[in-house]
A = this chain, B = another copy of it.
Amino acid sequence: MRFGVLGTGVVGQTLGGKLVSLGHEVTMGARQAGNEVAAGWVKAAGGSASEGSFADAAAFGETVMNATAGASSLDALAAAGAENLEDKVLIDVANPLDFSGGLPPSLTVGNTDSLGEQIQRAHPKAKVVKALNTIAAEVMVEPGLVPGSHTVFIAGEDDGAKGQVRALLQELGWPAKDILDLGSIAASRGTEAYVTLWLRFWAAAGTRAVNIKVIAG
């Protein structure tokens, strides 16, 4: 499958690299084509990796991943172009973190709204699925770094799109039973807010490889 991965940070590089290693074609998008980090990633990833602008990557992808910093995601997606996102699954991995007050960060949007919802409203023809925003990049593509069974969330308006993301998550190594569908994209309020707790687990656990397992009685 063809993927457009927006964002050249650790999350974009890690997800993009894993997708290439799985045999997918991936274009990494940056603010401008020829981005140095993206070019380095292309070399390292090999295979069918390529790079370009946000619009290049979005146009290339049958599925698009938003792996930009949350504070600039709406700008990045505007630059990607609504026409390049139309009818596509748009996996939103970002968190609206605000580092201006120091660590741990607070959120730039939350409580009665979320980044996932903002993105869906800004791109009503894209099929936004919030996913993977609750775990560190290395765990996203190698769930076994956290021992035993643990949970990854999906949320979005379109059941078909969520089905595709479910399949992709399984390809990344997530057992089907560990994928929890929280319903509509408004559930992003919950998963994004949770990130402010999860970041505190890093300090308590002494590792970024920390996740939760949801257990019901």
List chain A positions with a Cβ less than 8 A from chain B: 101, 104, 106-107, 110-112, 139, 145-148, 150-151, 180-183, 187, 189-191, 193-194, 196-201, 203-207, 209-217
Contacts and interface: CB of A to CB of B under 8 A. Distances in A.
Given A146-B217, A194-B194, 15 more contacts: A106-B189, A107-B111, A139-B217, A145-B217, A150-B213, A150-B215, A180-B201, A182-B201, A190-B196, A190-B198, A201-B216, A210-B215, A210-B216, A211-B215, A212-B213
A161 to B, nearest CB: 18
A25 to B, nearest CB: 31
Contacts of A145: 217
Nearest to A134: B197
The number of times this chain is found in the oligomer is 2
Given A110-B110, A193-B194, A210 B214 contact: yes
Given A189-B196, A190-B196, A193-B194, A204 B217 contact: no
Given A183-B200, A194-B197, A197-B194, A215 B217 contact: no
